[in-house]
C-alpha cells in the first residue's frame, strides 16, 4: 500500500510546456507515472511527448479522467491554477511553485476549506510512492519500495533521509515533502494521520525545521499514534529573526526554535536523530526493534 499516489494515479500537469514543467514531466513519465494530460492556456490541441495538451483543466479531466495535478505555473498565476484544479474536482493537487504571495495562499486555503481536496505544497518537492508513482521532482533512483513513511518540510533533507534509508536496506512506503512556506495545504498532522491508517507503513521519519509550530502540532498527534516516529529538526544554530532558506524557516518566538520543537517531539515519544547524518542509522535501530 501507499498514501496519496500509486499505480492508479492519472496525472495532469499544469504548465506542462514550460521549461521546468516539461523537464520534470519527462522524469515522472520515465519513472512510470501515468501522465494523461497537460494544461497550458493557448496551446490546447497540441501534445507533449504523446500527452494531449488542453486549454482548461476541467476539459482535461473530463476527457482523460485525471485524478491528480502537478503544478509548474509561475508564482503570479499559481493560486489560480490551484483553484482551477479544485473546481475541476481533482482530489490531489501538488504545487511545486515557489514564491507564491502569502495573501494569495490565504485566499486559496480559505477556498479549499469547502472542497474535498488534498493540496501538497506550495514550494515542495512533491510525493513519491517508490516503484509506483512519482509526482514532483524527487530523484527517483534513490528510493526503494518498503514500509517507512517519510514526511518533511525540506526537500533536500527528504532526499538525504531517503538515501540513508535505502543504503540501510530500508524501503519507503511513501515520501512527501509538504513544503517550506508559512502557509501550506497539507500539514504534518494530515500526513501522520494517513500513515497511521496505512497498513503497510510500520515507521515514520519526520523532518522538521525552525519556524512556526508545525512540529509541536505533530508532537501532539504522535502521542496517540501506534506507530513509532523518528524525527530530526534542522536549524539548531539559526539566529532568531533571520530567514533560513524557506520562507517559513524564521524564528519569531521561543516556539519556533529547534530546541523547543525537539523537546516537544521527544516528550511525545519520538526518537530524535541529533544530526542529519544519523537519520538512517537511528531509523534502522528503531525499525529492527
Question: Which residues carry out catalysis?
Answer: 246
HSE (side-chain half, CA atoms, 13 Å) at 213: 7
Q: What secondary structure letter does DSSP report for 57? A: H
Contacts of 9 (CB under 8 A, 6+ apart): 33, 34, 67, 68, 92, 132, 133, 135
Degrees (nearest 5) of the Cα angle 272, 201, 199?
A: 140
Q: What is the CA radius of gyration of the chain?
A: 18
Q: Do residues 180 and 123 make contact, with C-beta atoms less than 8 angstroms apart?
A: yes
Separation of alpha carbons 287 and 245, rounded Å: 31
DSSP string, 175-190: EEE--SSSS-SS-HHH
What is the SS3 assignment for 151?
Answer: strand
Buried (b) or exposed (e) across 129-146, using 16+ Cβ within 10 A? Answer: bbbbbbbbbbebebbbeb
Separation of alpha carbons 143 and 91, rounded Å: 25
Separation of alpha carbons 185 and 173, rounded Å: 21
Separation of alpha carbons 257 and 237, rounded Å: 9
Q: Is the peptide bond before 38 cis (omega within 30 degrees of 0)?
A: no
Amino acid at each position: 500500500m501507499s498514501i496519496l499516489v500509486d499505480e492508479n494515479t492519472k496525472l495532469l500537469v499544469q504548465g506542462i510546456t514550460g521549461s521546468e514543467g516539461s523537464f520534470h514531466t519527462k522524469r515522472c513519465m520515465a519513472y512510470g507515472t501515468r501522465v494523461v494530460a497537460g494544461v497550458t492556456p493557448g496551446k490546447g490541441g497540441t501534445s507533449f511527448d504523446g500527452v494531449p495538451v488542453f486549454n482548461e483543466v476541467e476539459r482535461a479531466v473530463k476527457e482523460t479522467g485525471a485524478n491528480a495535478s502537478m503544478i509548474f505555473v509561475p508564482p503570479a498565476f499559481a493560486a489560480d491554477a490551484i483553484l482551477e484544479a479544485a473546481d475541476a474536482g481533482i482530489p490531489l493537487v501538488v504545487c511545486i511553485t515557489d514564491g507564491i504571495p502569502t495573501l494569495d495562499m490565504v485566499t486559496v486555503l480559505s477556498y479549499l476549506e469547502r472542497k474535498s481536496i488534498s493540496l501538497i505544497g506550495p514550494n515542495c518537492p512533491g510525493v513519491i510512492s517508490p516503484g509506483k508513482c512519482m509526482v514532483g521532482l524527487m530523484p527517483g533512483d534513490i528510493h526503494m519500495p518498503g514500509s517507512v513513511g517519510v514526511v518533511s518540510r525540506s526537500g533536500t533533507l527528504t532526499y538525504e533521509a531517503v538515501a540513508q534509508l535505502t543504503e540501510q536496506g530500508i524501503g519507503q512506503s511513501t515520501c512527501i515533502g509538504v513544503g517550506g512556506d508559512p502557509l501550506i495545504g497539507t500539514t504534518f498532522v494530515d500526513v501522520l494521520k494517513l500513515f497511521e491508517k496505512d497498513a503497510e507503513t510500520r515507521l515514520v521519519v519526520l523532518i522538521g525545521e525552525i519556524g512556526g509550530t508545525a512540529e509541536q502540532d505533530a508532537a501532539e498527534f504522535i502521542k496517540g499514534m501506534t506507530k513509532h516516529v523518528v524525527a530530526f529538526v534542522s536549524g539548531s544554530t539559526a539566529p532568531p529573526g533571520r530567514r533560513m532558506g524557506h520562507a517559513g524557516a524564521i524564528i519569531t518566538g521561543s516556539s519556533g526554535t529547534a530546541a523547543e520543537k525537539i523537546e516537544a517531539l521527544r516528550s511525545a515519544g519520538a526518537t530524535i536523530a541529533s544530526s542529519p547524518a544519523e537519520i538512517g542509522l537511528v531509523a534502522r535501530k528503531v525499525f529492527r526493534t
